[in-house]
Chains A and B, each alone.
Chain A
Amino acid sequence: MNPWNHDVAKDENDLVDVQVDGVWTRMPRGLNVVEVAQRAKKFIPHYCYHPKLSVVGNCRMCLFEMGTPKMGPDRKPVLGQDGKPEIAWMPRPQIGCATNITPGMGIKTDSPLVKDCRNGVMEFLLINHPLDCTICDQAGECKLQEYSVEYGTGESRFIENKVKKPKNVDLGARIVLDDERCILCSRCVRFSSEVMKDDVLGFVNRGSHSTLTAYPGKSFDNAYSLNTVDICPVGALTSKDFRFQMRVWFLKETKSICTSCGTGCNVTIGSREGKVHRLTPRENEAVNSLWMCDFGRLNFHFLESKDRLHRPLLRAAGEQFPGTWADAIQRSADGLKKVKPEDIAVVASGRLTLEELFVLKRLVTELGVTRVDTVLNLGQADNFLRSGDGNPNRRGTELLGLSSGGRKLGSWGAEIESGKIKALLVTGGEDVVAAGISAASLAKLELLIVSGISVHETTRMAHVVLPGAAFAEKTGSMVNVYGRLQRMTRAVPPPGEAREEWTILRDLRIALTGGNSLHSVEDVWKSMAAEVSQFSGLSWAKIGDLGIQIESVSQPAESVTG
């Protein structure tokens, strides 16, 4: 996926001796000094260096003091009293990003010379910087701010005029550029060129007039453009969506996954007081590395949509009225009890979590319902991160035996028409009208129960509407198209009286079958681990932040066929 992985050693067992700040240690051959320092629990500050992009060495922030073993007349290293080579230190500093370690190398990351260098580099970088931190979106997570505090002087000797540059450049559909803040690290240029193969960014002019720009007439709006906002170490590239919306230090960060497709990119949800403000990719080399697509990143505004379902709705006299949860559950249970199991159909959703699906599975098993299927939500794969499968947990529905891949569902319209299906339970907010069952057919049902998050054709036809929680509003787990089990964590509460769907299904199950063994996510996992071999020995806590590979699916079919 990445053209470079400077943070990954070719061979973790091929070690060489290096001395980092006076301590001898063994590090994998071929790593650069920035990465070696990191592994030695030291930190070398850097701007332009990025482990997934080519090394250009233009910011000069990662200067360090380097030494090599002293050689005796016999061309053998001179050993000191400790039996280790004595080091001859070079008078001039080197850049850590472009220096790979060699046997016996000495590295000083915090000597007076190194501190002096950083100090000087910081002063140069700030010469033309506008210092408009007060209104800058990057403030609080800005490397220029952070390194100023740690390595800067706190004052500038520059009394001349700063160079003026464009401050509000529309680079493309989702990105605004402030050229005065740009420190010319070229991370964005390299990301576009090396990862996305979409070369539209570059530097024009020279010296202190150097300016980041897109080629005139071209816009920078590839499907992954917002990743440049993440890797921009300063506030030069800003997301139009997030620009001036929220100071980042107010954001609560919750580890979760993106549910916009079957890949399940790991994300951090940034929220404040019940409102999600942004999604940013969270590093997971097994799934998305450090990236995510712009579509998934921005696909959270529906959480605040006015079409969200806030309260249970019950149909009476042809119209839907708000009701209590108790009534909604009771009405659903009573209605389902009146219908023979063979006349009931259930839409399990590839958008539900495993926990929700498992409670649903118990429910349909105990009722004896056999007509269970999922809606296929096909999208367009892009041969990078985006999967052609729009269901984030399709594999979960398959593992729990709740899907025939839409095969059964195809005939349900006709079966409703012929009276074979009298009751339909739709979960996960699926719109079965969009999936091919006409509203006219749905009108013929004796009972239509829909649990979901927003209003659509199917919820409008329902006798009972059960408002559920969207991805950022619930805790659970899913299996992505590559067979990786991953967790999501609730960042914000669902709106109004809406509830996490597994509690809805749990209550419905208690009312219907009296089955009451699943009261918590832990209970669900205990049963699920016992029943499904792929989950054996696992629990929600054991999944961890980076997930667990439970089966090996190297190339899911839909990513090839799109």
Chain B
Amino acid sequence: MSVPLQAGMESCVGPEKGELTPAFESQADELISRYPVSKRSAVLPLLHLWQETFGYIGPRGVEWIAKKLSLQEIQVLELVTFYPWFRQKPVGRFHFRVCRTLPCALGGSGKTFAALKKLMNLSSDGHEGAMISEDGLFSLEYSECLASCGTAPVVLRNDEFYEKVDEKRAADLVAGCR
């Protein structure tokens, strides 16, 4: 569950500060052009685009998308907070998602998570959104079903998918990032 945005809290730290390139703009326009009847429908594709580009969706993203689609900011924020996939804060360069839905939980995803947490030197219990390592290299969070129950426990590192991740394999994954 994400925490609602607090105005001024985040002040667009991290990549969201970056410039909007002409390539980004034209990509956004292309996405909008796919919905000729109601451009409001482009809001989810744009949110994905923004998060892929900047790593998270802060107030700048919400406001830019709202303006682009002639929506009110609150209408975009509702979606950002509704879907757990969307983040309102930056994550580490390597973002790990550990499935905690039943088959993975039975398969030992809790142990995997604890191992990753220790390797990344993180605190907190992981149930309050993503944890980020101090150097900004790693971040870790639980996720719901990643659709590979037969190979539990499963982990997503950025966009790469890893199966049967026990504590040993978790260490390999972390080591591979250094």
Interface residues of A (CB under 8 A from B): 199-206, 209, 211, 213-218
Check if A204 sits within 8 Å of B8, measured CB to CB.
Answer: no
Most buried by B among A209, A211, A215: A215
Q: Mark B70-102, 1 if CB is under 8 A from A, else 0.
A: 001111011001100000000000000000000
Query: Please, which residue of chain A has its CB at the minimum distance from the CB of B72?
Result: A199
Assess A205 versus B7: contact at CB under 8 Å? Given A199-B72, A200-B72, A218-B73.
Answer: no
Cβ contacts B18-36/A at 8 Å (1 or 0 each): 0000000000000000000
Residues of A within 8 A of B78 (CB): 202-204
Docked Cα-Cα span, A199 to B66, in Å, equals 12
On chain B, the residues within 8 Å of A204 by CB distance are: 4, 77-78, 81-82
CA distance A211 to B5 in the complex (A): 12
Q: Kindly report which residue of chain B lies nearest to residue A166, judged by CB atoms.
A: B4
Query: Which residues of B are in contact with A by a Cβ distance under 8 Å?
Result: 1-2, 4-8, 59, 72-75, 77-78, 81-82
Contact between chains at B77 and A202 (CB < 8 Å): yes
Q: Which of B59, B72, B82 interacts with A205 by CB under 8 Å?
A: B82
21 sample A-B contacts, Cβ–Cβ < 8 Å, listed by A number? A199-B72, A200-B74, A202-B72, A202-B75, A202-B78, A203-B78, A204-B82, A205-B2, A205-B81, A205-B82, A206-B1, A206-B81, A211-B4, A213-B74, A214-B74, A216-B6, A216-B7, A216-B59, A217-B7, A217-B8, A218-B74
Residues in A whose Cβ lies below 8 Å from that of B6: 216
How many Å from the CB of B109 to the closest CB on chain A? 22
Known contacts A199-B75, A201-B74, A204-B77, A216 near B5 by CB under 8 Å: yes
Evaluate contact between B82 and A206: CB separation under 8 angstroms: yes
- Not counting A211-B4, A215-B77, a sample of 20 additional A-B residue pairs whose C-beta atoms are within 8 angstroms of each other reads A199-B72, A199-B74, A201-B74, A202-B77, A202-B78, A204-B77, A204-B78, A204-B81, A204-B82, A205-B4, A205-B81, A206-B1, A213-B74, A215-B73, A216-B7, A216-B59, A216-B77, A217-B7, A218-B73, A218-B74
- Nearest B residue to A215, CB-CB: B74
Complex partner residue of B4 from A200, A201, A216, A218, CB under 8 angstroms? A216
Task: Give the residues in chain A near B81, CB-CB below 8 Å.
Answer: 204-206
Complex CA–CA separation, A248 to B111 (angstroms): 57
Inter-chain contact B1/A202, CB cutoff 8 Å: no
Chain B CB within 10 Å — which of A199, A202, A203, A209 has the most?
A: A202
A203 CA / B77 CA spacing, docked (Å): 9
> Which residues does chain B contribute within 8 Å of A203, judged by CB atoms?
78
Please report the C-alpha to C-alpha distance between residue A206 and residue B78 in the assembled complex, in whole angstroms: 9
The complex places the Cα of A215 from the Cα of B72 at a distance, in Å, of 9
Provide the bound-state CA to CA distance between A205 and B75, in Å.
12
Complex-state Cα separation, A217 to B81, whole angstroms: 17
Q: Which residues of A contact B8 (CB under 8 A)?
A: 217
Considering the chains assembled together, what is the distance between the CA atoms of A215 and B75 in angstroms?
9
**Closest A residue, CB atoms, query B5:** A216
Which 6 residue pairs across A and B have the least CB separation, nearest first?
Answer: A217-B7, A199-B72, A216-B7, A202-B74, A204-B81, A215-B74
Chain A residues whose C-beta falls within 8 Å of the C-beta of B74 in the assembled complex: 199-202, 213-215, 218
Chain A nearest CB, measured from B2 CB (Å): 7
Q: What is the distance, in angstroms, from B8's C-beta to the closest C-beta of chain A?
A: 7
**Which residues of chain B have C-beta atoms less than 8 A from A211's C-beta?**
4
B73 to chain A, nearest CB (A): 5
- Nearest CB of A to B127, in Å: 13
Q: Could you say which residues of chain B place their CB within 8 Å of the CB of A215?
A: 72-74, 77
**A205 and B5: CB pair below 8 A?**
no
Interface centre among B7, B59, B77, B78 (most CB of A within 10 A): B78
Q: Which residues of A contact B75 (CB under 8 A)?
A: 199, 202
Query: Within the complex, what minimum Cβ distance (angstroms) separates B129 from chain A?
Result: 12
In the assembled complex, the CB of A36 is this many whole angstroms from the nearest CB of chain B, namely: 32
- Measured between beta carbons, the chain B residues less than 8 angstroms from A205 are 1-2, 4, 81-82
